[in-house]
Amino acid sequence: MIAIFRKPQLPEYVFDEKGEYWLLSDYEENRWWVSEDDSEVTAELDFHFPMANGRCLTETPRLLAAAKELTRLIRRRSTRKMSVRQHKEHHGNILVLLHAISTFRIRSLAELQYHEVMQLIGRMRAGTDGLLQSGQRIDAHLAQFHSKEQLPTIPYDKNGGLKIDRVAVLNACHLPLTVLTSPLVARAFRRVEKTFGMTRHKVYSSESSVVVTQPTANKFAVLLRAMYQYRGQMRCEALLFDPLVGEEANALIRTGKAVETTPIPPEHLTFGLLERATKLLVEEGGDIVSRHCAMSNSTTSVRGQESLRSSQTSIRRLSLACFIIIASFTGRRLSEILLLLRNCLAGNDGRGWWLQSVILKKGSPHYAWIPVPRLVARSIQLLHRVGTHLTAATETDLLFSCHDFYLGRQVKLRPHLFLNKFAADEGLANYKTETGEDGVWHWQTRQFRRFFAVIFLYRFGGSLEALSHALRHDNLDITRGYLSLDGNLASIYRAEVYRFKRKVMSDIANDNGGYFGPVAKRLKRYCEHVRRVLAKRITIMTPDEVDLMIKYADRQLMAIRPKPWVTCTCADTIEATKTAKCHEQPTKTKVGPALENGGPNTCGGKGCSYALMNAANQNYLQKRAEAEGDPGAGEPKNLFEVFKRLNFATVERLANAGNAKRIGGGE
């Protein structure tokens, strides 16, 4: 049987002379002629524009409908008189924005997700080049040529000189010819031409930034918001949510120039740095502080130069370890951590610890008490002891300060200056890139703002014995309450949640991580369906599979909630609530999972249909089973033991369940 697909058609449009008097062409045409309001000046608006997938905009019905509606409404809904020049400029920006949207392999505005919109807003800071990613795409295309003969060239002068055929390269990259005026594009071509000795052009440094004024970013932001605001007047699918709501979106637009996103360190480097800092804190912290205090009470002649150097080096390493721990579990900026006072800690081990964090916003600093794990409290207590021997030290002095034996006075600690040296000494600078090449990671303090999300989402997939029991953020509610203090931090957390979803879906698609359970089987079956569909095309790309699986999970309303014994995917719906095993016990939760009833027995032992388990969960359960099976075990020391101390048999059975059932395997 041959399937016949009917091309979607726009609804019949009734021409409104009062509204579109400026439109001189038929609405259905793909080239419009528009006129000035009070003159005979006209201009052509062409909808023939390349998309990222190689097709023309006119061959993409739903995006073409959005382009026409936005072009029409941006003129009709304008509160000011709009010239044809301004209308043509808006039309060009609409096409650029739709091209950028097509890079996500979506077919309509209604398919745009929040994380994709945040990427678009981030690219707006670099203007048209940022949205089209023209420089990067041309660099990637030209990188496949290894000799001058392989390049598409055209004559450059009468002496036989050659230069790269710009038009051919742009067509191969599916970019519009208008990017030829871009300095980034010109730089990319000239760099390759100089490499092969073709022409003598000046090549600018690739590190130079392209300054874009705030109005340049705002003109795209206005169009992006119009995709949502005009949803009632657009005769096509519109954006389903306001893209510029919240502080994080507006903060991205306010930057005013092209700034590269802070690189994200690989998970194993993140965990490695945290583990080294934790071991230094727990195993050596007390001795380092004791030696420092003893040296403060001794005379100068007894100290000795070697002892002074050794003490200062140890204090630097300790302060850096404390900084890493505090930054990782609070997500605060460098300047905010260095402004912490000596009296910033409150609480105890029984009732929990709280940190008076500094949040720098416009105007005066804002102080807020936030929950922190005991490890952070330990870090602050050690720093407090280091500064105890300061002359006339008070509780309102800075926490990161100590007495310098050489200078004989109080000095501020600057632990971040030794971050890369500490990482290199601990073997946490070298890593493998995604392509398998050797790389050297450059650590930045800004990367710690993402650490707390990495810890929360990946902590049970890494080998961090020292950190897995010290973390107090055991559910999303505590984290969400803290995120409300800082919109930019909320954006980082959302991005990290999306990266965690990609990792889970990628592991399931590639049979990594040993995922099993009802949810894993459903996702595995959908992945096989996706592969069958993609196999009919030219190539199969893993990012396509992962993104499609994420969209499938979103359509199923799956909410990812990582727990030490399981990853809960229960949706926040009444239907899911009726079948969730955690609701078989009394709870006040009406919609969504009853997290207070969760545990290895409830989530895994009773066979909850929303449980997603992998090898890391199994390993965790195995260790807990061994700990609970110890007759000499004392009082419960962690969350797991508090939950199910009496369910050793269930824990042991769950820990061994992975040996009996796997994705694609037998029951």
The mean pLDDT value for 361-383 works out to 78
Three-state SS for 18-74 is: CCCCCECCCCCCCEEEEECCCCCCEEEEECCCECCCCCEHHHCHHHHHHHHHHHHHH
What pLDDT sits at residue 87? 92
User: Looking at residues 578-603, what average pLDDT do you find?
Assistant: 79
Closest of 403, 420, 426 to residue 278, by C-alpha: 426
- Res. 572: pLDDT tops 70: yes
Who wins on pLDDT, 16 or 21? Answer: 21
Name residue 355's beta-bridge partners: 345, 370
The reported pLDDT for the residue numbered 553 is 58
160 vs 62: CA distance, rounded Å: 47
For position 220, what pLDDT does the model report? 85
Which has more confidence, 261 or 295? Answer: 295
The distance from CA 46 to its chain's CA centroid, rounded to whole angstroms, is 36
- Rounded distance between C-alpha atoms, residue 145 and residue 135, angstroms: 16
Query: Of the spans 5-9, 469-473, 549-553, 583-587, which averages the highest pLDDT?
Result: 583-587
Checking if the pLDDT of 627 tops 80, the result is no
Residue 611: name the closest of 574, 631, 635, 582 by CA: 582
Per-residue pLDDT band for 648 (boundaries 50, 70, 90) equals: very low
Phi, psi of 447 (to 5 degrees): -70, -20
Which pLDDT band, with edges at 50, 70 and 90, does 50 fall under?
very high
pLDDT per residue as tens digits for the range 146-158: 888 888 887 876 6
Using one digit for the tens of pLDDT, what is the confidence trace for 272-310?
887 788 888 888 888 888 888 777 666 554 455 667 777
Inform me whether the pLDDT recorded for 540 exceeds 50.
Answer: no
Please tell me the predicted confidence (pLDDT) of residue 47: 95
Whole-number percent of the chain with pLDDT over 70: 60
Query: Which whole-number Å values give the CA distances from 194 to 6, 156, 161, 190, 471, in the listed order?
Result: 50, 14, 13, 6, 53
Task: Choose between 369 and 262: higher pLDDT.
Answer: 369
Q: State mean pLDDT over 608-627.
A: 67
Most confident of 313-317, 570-574, 601-605, 610-614: 313-317
Q: In this predicted model, which residue has the larger pLDDT, 573 or 176?
A: 176
Q: Which one, of 88, 67, 83, 94, lies nearest residue 10 by Cα?
A: 67
> What is the average pLDDT score of the chain?
70
Is pLDDT at 79 greater than 50 in this prediction?
yes
Q: What pLDDT is attached to residue 654? A: 45
Q: How confident is the model at residue 111 (pLDDT cuts 50, 70, 90)?
A: confident
Q: pLDDT tens digits, residue range 1-10?
A: 333 333 344 4
Nearest to 325 by CA among 378, 401, 368: 378
Query: What's the confidence (pLDDT) of residue 376?
Result: 85
Best CA proximity match to 505, nearest among 455, 567, 563: 567
Q: Is the pLDDT of residue 658 over 50?
A: no
C-alpha 403/C-alpha 95 separation (Å) is 61
Q: Is the pLDDT of residue 190 over 80?
A: yes
The pLDDT, as a whole number, for residue 40 is 82
So what's the pLDDT on residue 63? Answer: 93
Give the per-residue pLDDT at 175.
Answer: 92
Distance between CA 618 and CA 580 in Å, rounded?
21
First-residue to last-residue Cα distance in the chain: 37
SS3 of the chain: helix, strand, coil, percent, to 5: 50, 10, 40
| From 76-85, 114-123, 142-151, 635-644, the region with the lowest mean pLDDT | 635-644
- Give which of 74, 78, 73, 186 is closest to 129, Cα–Cα: 186
Residue 486 confidence (pLDDT) above 60: no
Residue 39: phi and psi, rounded to 5, are: -150, 180
**Three-state SS for 591?**
coil
CB 480 within 8 A of CB 486: no
* Angle ∠(172,175,179) on CA atoms, nearest 5: 125
With cut-offs at 50, 70 and 90, classify the pLDDT of residue 252: low
Residue 174, C-beta contacts closer than 8 angstroms, at least 6 positions apart:
50, 51, 52, 53, 54
d(CA 205, CA 188): 10
Q: How far apart are CA 643 and CA 600, in angstroms?
A: 8
pLDDT at residue number 311: 76
Residue 91 pLDDT: 93
Task: Give the pLDDT band (50/70/90) at residue 556.
Answer: low
- Residue 350 binned pLDDT confidence (cut-offs 50, 70, 90): confident
Confidence band of 361 (pLDDT split at 50, 70, 90): low
**CA-CA-CA-CA torsion sign (468, 471, 473, 479):** negative
- Give the residue with greater pLDDT, 555 vs 12: 555
In three-state secondary structure terms, 454 is: helix
Backbone angles phi, psi at 564, to 5 degrees: -65, -30
107 has pLDDT over 70: yes
pLDDT of residue 295: 75
Q: What is the mean pLDDT of residues 204-221?
A: 56
Nearest to 232 by CA among 341, 69, 363: 69
Task: Examine the pLDDT at 471 and tell me if it is beyond 50.
Answer: no
CB contact set of 232 (below 8 Å; sequence gap of 6+):
none
pLDDT > 90 fraction of the chain, expressed in percent and rounded: 9
What is the Cα Rg of the chain in Å?
A: 30
Residue range 151-175: mean pLDDT, rounded = 83
CA distance linking residue 192 with residue 153, whole number of Å: 12
Taking 70 as the threshold, does the pLDDT of residue 416 lie above it?
yes
Of 349 and 465, which is predicted with more confidence? Answer: 349
Please tell me the distance from the alpha carbon of residue 203 to that of residue 199, in angstroms, as a whole number: 11
